[in-house]
Chain A
Amino acid sequence: MSLRDDWLCTASYIQSVTHNSTSIFAPAATPAQSAYGVSMLVLAITLAIFCVVAGLLLFALLRYRHRPSNSESGQEPAQIYGSNQIELSWTVIPILIVVILFLATTRVVFSTQRAPKPAESIDVIVIGHQFWWEYRYPKFGVVTANELHIPVSDPSHPTPAYLTMSSADTDHSFWVPRLAGKMDVIPNKINVMWMDPSTPGLYLGQCAQYCGTQHAKMLLRVYADTPTQFAAWIAAQKKAAVQDPNAAAGQAVFQHNACISCHTIAGTVATGRFGPDLTHVASRDTIASGSVPNTPANIRAFVDNPAHFKPGVLMPPMHLNEHDLDLVTAYLTTLK
């Protein structure tokens, strides 16, 4: 590989890192930003400590290595048993460093976890499931899954999203590194976190607490919308499900199978709560909690055998015949 190829390879690698980045060092909201700030401080301090101690160690190893040629090589070096002054100094200096770090940390802990809640914040209820995310917007009467939409927040007129979180089954953890540090999603416990993305865009993340077989593909997608986009999205999600007469056959298949025991499609007999709400499933970019693009082919493959994309998923294979699979796929793709 030539040097130029090498360079191109590195460049494309760096680009891939920044493109779909989930780096904690690319903060895009206040909680991630303040964590980043204190991280830089602690990195600087620890780097300085490393340089001093490792430098001294390296110096001692080189300077005091045994030299067999030396005329006194047979003799033992001077025995030194200790020094109270020196012990005191390397006790007191670390204590001072600890005090500084502790105060800096405490400031960020309180500014993040005790931040006053602005009046116009957006409330979202987050429910972790094996292996997907349920989002409910109680003020708007909207229920959706796996793709969280929140508005960007203007610092002069803050509209942060407050996520009130709990779990329906095992422990999960909500982690979108560019927006905020993680917060665990635990059954029988209510946790709250907030985020105020400053620039519109898609922020990725994933479940960060081992929650069962398919923990790895319990992905997170947070869409930070402009206020107009967000209003439009809410308006679309509030509507009842599309009733396309062309898809009536598919709807019938859906309603005559076990689908309705687990999935809700608002305005129909499907009122299950165990799986994701499918009222507007066709409006989402992905299926299978973010693991594959939302295409008819993927929907068909998923309904046929969910474990094809997500081994260990709790949805069973539906055992539909080819014809019914086509019909159900057609129905689901109308649910804009």
Chain B
Amino acid sequence: MATQTSAAVVLDQTAKRGPGRQAFEILHDWITTVDHKKIGLMYIGYALFFLIVAGFEALLMRIQLAIPNNTFVSPQVFNRLFTMHGTTMVFFVGMPILFGFGNYLIPLMIGARDMAFPRLNAFSFWISAFGGLLLYFSYLGGDGLYGAGSAPDVGWFAYAPLTARVFSPGHSTDYWTLALLLSGVGSIGTALNIVATTICMRCPGMKLNRMPLLVWLYLVMSMMVFVTISPLTAAQIMLMLDRYIGSHFFDTQAGGSAVLWMHFFWIFGHPEVYILVLPAFGFASEIIPVFSRKAIFGYPAMVAATVAIGFISLSVWAHHMFTVGLGAWGNTFFVFSTMTISVPTGIKIFNWLATIWGGKIHFTVPMMFAVAFLFQFLVAGLTGIMLAVAPFDWQLGSSYFIVAHFHYVLVGAILIMIFAAFYYWYPKITGRMLSERLGKWHFWLFFIGFHLTFDFMHIPGILGMPRRIYTYEADRGWMILNMIVSSGAIFQAVATLVFVFNMIASYFKGRIAGPDPWDAWTLEWSTQSPPPVYNFAVIPTVESRRPLWDLKHPEDPDTNYEL
């Protein structure tokens, strides 16, 4: 302890930089930084940029689909739009924004001064960022040196043999492959860093069973990244070999297997959904207790459920392949494994419910988003059970029902919790509160838009509308529904603009937050807002899961109760 304190004193006496910093100096500072907070913010900023880009792509698609036989965009452009939208949202919005929050929060929550490997951290960010730029550079370079160029149009899961050179000439598929390869390398690097940090860098007294749930969820998520990104990377390399040196892994024209690609992709692709949703669970597990003013209910059960989800999610991938012809026994196995995962997921929802039960709920903006998350994730889980029923999936798979289902997870649960996380941790990051008034506008506009879009999107699927069609027949009765779906997209776009405006305006004019604006209990609220470079002047020592609760309630500390 003594040495740490003295180091902090030295650091505190570092001369403050003057106000007149050059733009170049600031830029240099950010590009060369290895500080987990700055890297986290760069991840978040980069992901927000791509969120706007991919959201705009979604808007264009919804304009095209608002009426049947629309000619707003050509089929070629539409196919590129859904490919780029899906790829961007999963790899260059979802992953980086969650890694960004993880990077920022994990050291602060476990009382550490940085991640375990700061340089690896910077490397991981920059290589992922390069992947995203490469993906979008395909708009210029996709066709090779001649012509105008084009982006990939093979869908975000790029089923073979559509990616073979005979069906996908030019370089657009190669940009897609390389972008995912690079982003995968970055993801593995950051996951490694998160695991090492949580295992090795916890402050004195923070045993594994005292870690904030968010850190637990990130730990499990990062372990899953190791297992799932590897097959994806392997598949990308095999695809490159197919395309350039004439191997035939997926080249069906020469005896390759299209189904092999599906297995490779979905053994990555399904756990990926849980990789994205576990951090959202983490945000919920921090925000819901604070605004219910109660400790999380059933902490050990929450940890056990997380680990169970991590394991089971590795065995469910072929429920994306119920229509591939795996046979009755194959289908039955994946029906079983998929239904099983609903048990630990249910445990989580019930524990959040029990946390709220008997509390004093403060409906701040982060809590409003968290409550919407609870309802929407419940619906997403239940439609997931429907899709686990293989005969129901034979009908609903690849239809708009499934598009509605996974957007309920990705937008209704994950993006909603990301918004909650912004409202909750923005004061810590910037030292200023986001405007509650604008936040409520953001919430309600987004809430209305989300439900207009994704509630009504289930129905065309039930009425037989497949996904990934650039237009549809006028006589199928899908038009009014599609129009409602498209109108909801406008609300969501406006809400997102309100959110961006709020973030910019509050940075300059927001109320000063102070170190602990929410009267919260985890370690990040014990340091200043924004936290100093070294996070904690004195490395804290904790004795329970809620160190700040113990400080604020010495008469009734958690140490009396926890097992």
- Asked whether A83 lies within 8 Å of B298 as measured between CB atoms, the reply is yes
Option from B74, B252, B394 in Cβ contact (under 8 Å) with A180: B394
The residues of B that contact A105 with a CB separation of less than 8 Å are 332, 335, 388-391
The residues of A that contact B155 with a CB separation of less than 8 Å are 210
The residues of A that contact B253 with a CB separation of less than 8 Å are 187
Option from A54, A180, A219 in Cβ contact (under 8 Å) with B378: A54
Q: Tell me, yes or no, whether B350 is within 8 Å of chain A by CB.
A: yes
Q: Tell me, yes or no, whether B517 is within 8 Å of chain A by CB.
A: no
The residues of A that contact B476 with a CB separation of less than 8 Å are 17, 20-22, 204
Binary contact readout A195-212 vs B (1 if CB under 8 angstroms, 0 otherwise): 000000000111111111
Taking the nearest CB of chain A, how far is it from the CB of B140, in angstroms? 21
Binary contact readout A27-68 vs B (1 if CB under 8 angstroms, 0 otherwise): 000001011001100110110011001101100110011110
Q: Tell me, yes or no, whether B207 is within 8 Å of chain A by CB.
A: no
The residues of A that contact B252 with a CB separation of less than 8 Å are 187-188
- Asked whether B360 lies within 8 Å of A311 as measured between CB atoms, the reply is no
The residues of A that contact B325 with a CB separation of less than 8 Å are 183-184, 186, 189, 191-192
Report the bound CA distance from A67 to B332 in whole Å: 51
Task: List the A residue with the shortest CB-CB distance to B297.
Answer: A82
- Asked whether A80 lies within 8 Å of B257 as measured between CB atoms, the reply is no
- Asked whether B462 lies within 8 Å of A23 as measured between CB atoms, the reply is yes
The residues of B that contact A192 with a CB separation of less than 8 Å are 325
- Asked whether B363 lies within 8 Å of A216 as measured between CB atoms, the reply is no
- Asked whether B466 lies within 8 Å of A206 as measured between CB atoms, the reply is yes
- Asked whether B394 lies within 8 Å of A215 as measured between CB atoms, the reply is no
Q: Tell me, yes or no, whether B56 is within 8 Å of chain A by CB.
A: no
- Asked whether B466 lies within 8 Å of A81 as measured between CB atoms, the reply is no
- Asked whether A208 lies within 8 Å of B466 as measured between CB atoms, the reply is yes
- Asked whether A80 lies within 8 Å of B397 as measured between CB atoms, the reply is no
- Asked whether A209 lies within 8 Å of B398 as measured between CB atoms, the reply is yes
Number of A-B pairs, beta carbon distance below 8 Å? 280
CB contact under 8 A between A186 and B324, given known A210-B155, A213-B76, A216-B75: yes
Stretch at the interface among B45-53, B266-274, B275-283, B288-296: B288-296
Taking the nearest CB of chain A, how far is it from the CB of B353, in angstroms? 6
- Asked whether A216 lies within 8 Å of B472 as measured between CB atoms, the reply is yes
Q: Can you identify 9 A-B contacts, CB atoms within 8 angstroms?
A: A50-B379, A66-B293, A77-B358, A81-B561, A101-B388, A105-B332, A216-B469, A216-B472, A311-B75
B-side residues, CB < 8 A to A, are 74-76, 79, 153, 155, 159-162, 167, 252-253, 255-259, 292-295, 297-301, 323-325, 327-328, 331-332, 335-336, 339-340, 342-343, 346-347, 349-351, 353-354, 356-363, 371, 374-375, 378-379, 382-383, 385-386, 388-399, 462-473, 475-477, 480, 553, 556, 558, 561-562
Sample of 18 more A-B contacts, CB < 8 Å, known A50-B378, A94-B346, A109-B331: A39-B395, A56-B353, A57-B375, A61-B371, A76-B293, A91-B343, A104-B389, A108-B391, A109-B332, A109-B391, A113-B331, A188-B255, A189-B258, A189-B259, A206-B469, A210-B159, A213-B76, A311-B74
